[in-house]
Structure 1
Amino acid sequence: MAVDMKGASRQALSALRGVAGNPSAQDAGRISQDLFVAIQVLDSSLPLRRALTDPTRESASKSALVEDLFAKSISAQSLSIIKSGASERWSSPSNLPAALEIIAIEVEAGAADGVDVELMGIAHALSGAKELSSALMGGRAIDSLVSDLFSQKVSAATLRIALAIARNLRGRHFISALEESANVAGARRKKTVVHVRSAVSLTSAQSERLRASLGKELGREVSLDLTVDASVIGGIEVKFDDDMVDGTIARRLAEAGRKLAS
C-alpha cells in the first residue's frame, strides 16, 4: 500500500471508490474480508496480476477471469469492485492489489469511526515490543499475537484490518503497514492523523485544545496520535503527512502545538 498512486493508477483508484460506495458496517466487514482474500491471491501470482492489468486484453476476458477465480467465494458487491479494478488501466500490475487494500480499509473506516486511532494505537503498542520481536524470531504468526493482545481492546473493523495486514505484509514491516493503514482510514473520515510526541504526557484539556487548534488551521477534523518521549527537544513535536500540509502551515502548526502544550 506504500505504492505511490500516480497517473492512470490514481484515476483507477478513484473509479474503484465510486464502485465501493458507502456500505453499511455489516457489508463493509464482508467486503473488506473479501478484498483481502483477493489481494492474497493476486500477490501470490505475478502472471495473474499482469493478466488482470494488461491494457491490451479485452475487459470481458478479464472480467471472466475474475468470475472464475472469485465468484464462488466472495459477495457480488466485492466481485464488482474487483471486476472494476480489472477493467481499469494501471501504471503497474502491483498497483491493483495495493488499490484493493486501500478500498478494503476505506470501506471499514467509512462505516466505523475510530479505526484510524485504534490502528495507530496497535502500532505504538507493538513498536519495539519484545513480544513482536519474539514472535518474528520464534516463527510465531504475527496475526496470532495481534489477536491475543487486541481482540478485546479494539473494534471488530480495526481487528479485521490489523489481522489482514499481518497475514499479508507484502514485503512491508508490520508497524509501518499499520501506520499507513491508519492514515488511509483517517483520510477516509476526512481526518488528518497528526503525530504528536511530547516530553511529558499531555492532559486531556491540552490534547483537546491542541486537536481543536490544529483542526482549525487545517480546515478538517484532526485525529491525534500521542506519544510520550522524554528526548523531545522543546517539549513537543508535531508531524503529519507531507502531501497533506505545506511547509508554511506545518511550521505554524508546530509552533501552535508547542504553545498549547506549555
Structure 2
Amino acid sequence: MRGISRRSLDAVTRRLDDILPSANAATLGHELFEVVALLGEERSLRRWLAEPANDADSKSGLVSELLESRVSPATVLVACDIVRAEWSRSRDMVDAAERMAVYATVASVENEQRLGELEDELFRFRRIVEAEPELRAALTAEGTTAEGKRALVQDLLSGKTNASTLELVTEAVTRPRGRKLEQGLEHYGQLVAERAQRYVAVVRTAAPLSAQQQERLQTVLTRRYGRTMHLNIDVDPQVVGGMSIHVGDEVIDGTIAGRLAEVRRRLAG
C-alpha cells in the first residue's frame, strides 16, 4: 500500500494495538476474518464503504448495524475504524481488514521466540504442501466443502502446532482470496514477520547449518537490511554447495549451481 492507504493502515494498526489489551485476541482475529469474508462476498457493500465521498459516520453506522449482533464489541470497533479510514481502492480496505485479523490472531504469541516458532510452522507446512501433491490436491479440491477442508486441517495440525498457526492455515485453505495455497501461507508468514518487525530470509543450502552458522548469517543479514532477520532454512541437496538467500524479491545466490549457471549464461552470450 502507498500514499493515503499506507497512512490509513498505520492509523488502523495503532487503534488495534489500543484495543487488543482488553480484547480476546483469538476471538477478535477469527471474527475479523469473517468480516474479510463478508467484504469479499458483498461487492456493492465493499465499494460503498471504500468510497471516499461517502460519510464516515454513515459507514461506521452501517457496519455497526450489520455486525453488532454477530461479533464481539472489539470486532465492531476495529471494523468501524477500518471503514472510517480513507483508502485508495476498495482492495486496500479489505487487505487492511485481513492484516488486522492476522495481527489479532498472533497477538497471544507476540514475543520474539514464539513468533519465530509460528513463522517456522507456517514455512514448514508450506514446504510439506509443495512436496506432497496428494495433500495439496485434498486441501484445494473444488468439490470439497469448506467444512471438509477445515476438518482435514484439524486432523493434520490440531495439537501439533500453535493455535494461531492452525487458525492461519485454516483460513488460507478455506478462504484463499484468489491466492494459491502456497502463496496464502507465504503471505501470512510475511505478515507475521512484519508484526514482529523483522524480515524473513529463506535460505537454501545443501546441508543443515549449525547454530553458530545461523547466528553469524542472521547477524550479517540484520546489518545489511537494518532489521532483525528471521531465517527459514530449506535443506536442498540440489543446491550442491554454498547457499542462496531470498529476502522478498531479492535473491543472493552463492550456490555452486548458481555460479555454474552464471558461467553458462556468459559463455552463451
Instruction: State the TM-score, normalized to the length of structure 1.
Output: 0.84
Which deviations, in whole Å up to 9, do the C-alpha atoms of 1:5-32 show, x marking residues without a partner? 1222111111110110062597221111
Q: 1:221 aligns with which of 217, 220, 228?
A: 228
Q: 2:108 aligns with which of 107, 111, 114?
A: 111
Flag the structure with higher helix content: 2
1:132–1:145: 8 Å Cα contact kept in structure 2? Answer: no
1:15 partner letter? A
Note the 1:139-150 alignment, pairs <5 A: 139-140=143-144, 141-150=148-157
CA gap 1:156/1:25 in 2 versus in 1, 3 angstroms: farther
2:29 partner letter? S
207-216 or 158-167: bigger deviation: 207-216
2:30–2:105: 8 Å Cα contact kept in structure 1? Answer: no
CA shift for structure 1 position 218: 3.3
Provide the rounded CA distance (Å) in 1 between the counterparts of 2:156 and 2:33: 22
Provide the rounded CA distance (Å) in 2 between the counterparts of 1:68 and 1:29: 23
Which deviations, in whole Å up to 9, do the C-alpha atoms of 1:84-132 show, x marking residues without a partner? 1111111111221211111111233343132222222221121231212
1:36 corresponding residue in structure 2: 33
- How many residue pairs get aligned? The number is 245
Unaligned runs of 5+ residues in structure 1 are none
Provide the rounded CA distance (Å) in 2 between the counterparts of 1:169 and 1:204: 35
CA shift for structure 1 position 137: 4.2
Which deviations, in whole Å up to 9, do the C-alpha atoms of 1:122-179 show, x marking residues without a partner? 2112123121224434733443332211112211112112212222111110111111
1:70 corresponding residue in structure 2: 67
Note the 1:103-252 alignment, pairs <5 A: 103-112=100-109, 113-114=114-115, 115-129=118-132, 130-137=134-141, 139-140=143-144, 141-232=148-239, 234-242=241-249
2:5–2:92: 8 Å Cα contact kept in structure 1? Answer: yes
Report percent identity of matched pairs. 26
Instruction: State the TM-score, normalized to the length of structure 2.
Output: 0.82
Q: 1:15 aligns with which of 8, 11, 16?
A: 11
2:6 partner letter? R
Unaligned runs of 5+ residues in structure 2 are 257-269
Provide the rounded CA distance (Å) in 2 between the counterparts of 1:99 and 1:206: 37
CA shift for structure 1 position 53: 1.0
Identify which of structures 1 and 2 has the higher relative contact order when contacts are C-alpha pairs closer than 8 Å and 6+ apart: 1
Q: 1:48 aligns with which of 21, 45, 50?
A: 45
1:43–1:49: 8 Å Cα contact kept in structure 2? Answer: yes
Provide the rounded CA distance (Å) in 1 between the counterparts of 2:81 and 2:22: 22
Establish whether residue 100 from structure 1 lines up as the match of residue 103 from structure 2.
Answer: no
Which deviations, in whole Å up to 9, do the C-alpha atoms of 1:21-51 show, x marking residues without a partner? 0625972211111100111111101101011
2:77 corresponding residue in structure 1: 80
Provide the rounded CA distance (Å) in 2 between the counterparts of 1:118 and 1:215: 22
Larger Rg: 2
1:161 partner letter? L
2:267 corresponding residue in structure 1: none
2:4–2:88: 8 Å Cα contact kept in structure 1? Answer: yes
Q: CA RMSD in A?
A: 2.4
CA gap 1:116/1:26 in 2 versus in 1, 3 angstroms: farther
2:200–2:247: 8 Å Cα contact kept in structure 1? Answer: yes
